[in-house]
């Protein structure tokens, strides 16, 4: 887990947000768990609270309240989230903090049952309630006992991630280009927690990029649940290459790094764009999950061995310095020993 923030790293964004221009409404500590998409949500909540006059501290011991932004993806991450929540509840029971707010994917996945399991939680906030975190803090500080759960429906438009209080090192930042996912992979609960795919307009992404560059960022790491699907819902076609062309024109960006590239919609045009770019680094994150066609079909990945081998071959031949990062699932229900060996040989 990451206990946030390292205050020196957060200072430039804090100054940009205008924190310090008003008396503090209270102090709080923040713990962010999970993926880079969740980290962007954490930074947005931090920015909202800073603009509302709350003061961030690095130690939950003695803070007025604590916020835990959770991950709910796999069993281990849910266990880690609950462990951190219990730790914060213990601080509250000892009188060392006054309240615990739990946000993010875990409450979005399990709903109100989280407070039943962990009754020491004061308020829960779903994924789509993040921009109202200051109102939840106001209720906690004000001693309100009603409306202790805040859940909003998944948006039809991508959320605005500007005015963030960044907690990454100053030279890089995550840039979220879409929300949600339309894939129906049988092992994944992301659509349940994050909703359907919603593209952030190109103009909005570029504006966020400029704000981050003004805050000292030199490398932008593009993240989404399904990066290669970017644009389909908004423009009727995938437009990741068009977005990259616009981002390459933003002065001050040295590197663009692409993550969460689903192998479907990884077009020849996208490969050419990466190969010809002076700013897109040849480091690609492309989750493959398996190589056996039968297992991939049961995973509902909409790709098979032949297409995967063809795509990896194209990438290797056209990007000679390629670093390929990926993830695989072993022991998928029904996987045979021979299918596992096929996967191991492919990795080798």
**Would you kindly state where each structural domain of the chain is located, as residue ranges?**
2-150, 172-347
CA distance 111 to 56: 27
* CATH class for the region spanning 172-347: alpha beta
The neighbour count for residue 163, using CB atoms within 10 Å, is 18
pLDDT (mean) for 4-8: 36
Residue-wise pLDDT for 152-201, tens only, equals: 998 889 999 999 999 999 999 999 999 999 999 999 998 999 999 999 99
Residue entry with tokens 């649940």: 225
CATH level 2 (architecture), domain 2-150: 3-Layer(aba) Sandwich (3.40)
**pLDDT of 282 over the 50 cut:** yes
pLDDT, position 22: 56
In percent, the amount of the chain with pLDDT more than 90 equals 88
Helix axes 268-276, 305-318, angle to 10 degrees: 20
186, 300 in Cβ contact below 8 A? yes
Per residue in 187-220, pLDDT tens? 999 899 999 999 999 999 999 999 999 999 999 9
Tokens 């030279």 belong to 171
Give yes or no for residue 15 having a pLDDT over 60: no
- CA-wise closest residue to 264 among 212, 211, 227: 227
């Amino acid at each position: 887990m990451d206990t946030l923030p390292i205050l020196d790293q957060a200072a430039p964004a804090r100054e940009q947000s205008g924190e310090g221009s008003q008396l503090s409404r209270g102090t709080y500590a923040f713990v962010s768990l999970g993926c880079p998409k969740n980290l962007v949500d954490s930074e947005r909540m931090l920015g909202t609270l800073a603009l509302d006059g709350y003061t961030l501290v690095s130690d939950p011991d003695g803070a007025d309240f604590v916020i835990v932004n959770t991950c709910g993806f796999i069993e281990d991450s849910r266990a880690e989230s609950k462990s951190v929540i219990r730790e914060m509840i213990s601080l509250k029971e000892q009188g060392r903090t006054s309240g615990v707010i739990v946000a993010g994917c875990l409450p979005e996945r399990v709903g109100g049952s989280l407070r039943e399991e962990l009754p020491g939680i004061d308020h829960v906030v779903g994924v789509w309630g993040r921009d109202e975190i200051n109102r939840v803090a106001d209720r906690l500080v004000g001693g309100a006992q009603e409306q202790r759960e805040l859940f909003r429906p998944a948006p039809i438009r991508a959320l605005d991630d500007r005015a963030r209080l960044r907690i990454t090192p100053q030279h890089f930042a995550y840039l979220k280009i879409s929300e949600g996912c339309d894939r129906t992979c049988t092992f994944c609960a992301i659509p349940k927690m994050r909703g359907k795919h919603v593209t952030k307009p190109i103009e909005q992404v570029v504006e966020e990029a400029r704000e981050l560059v003004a805050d000292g960022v030199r490398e932008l790491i593009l993240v989404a649940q399904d990066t290669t699907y970017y644009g389909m819902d908004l423009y009727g076609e995938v437009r990741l290459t068009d977005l990259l062309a616009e981002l390459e024109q933003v002065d001050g960006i040295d590197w663009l790094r692409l993550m969460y590239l689903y192998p479907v919609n990884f077009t020849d045009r996208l490969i050419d764009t990466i190969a010809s770019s002076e700013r897109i680094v040849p480091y690609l994150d492309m989750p493959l999950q398996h190589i056996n066609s039968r297992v991939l079909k049961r995973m509902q990945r909409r790709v098979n061995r032949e297409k995967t081998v063809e795509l990896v071959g194209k990438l290797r031949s056209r990007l000679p310095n390629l670093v390929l990062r990926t993830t695989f699932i072993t022991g998928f229900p029904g996987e045979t020993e021979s299918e596992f060996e096929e996967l191991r040989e492919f990795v080798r």
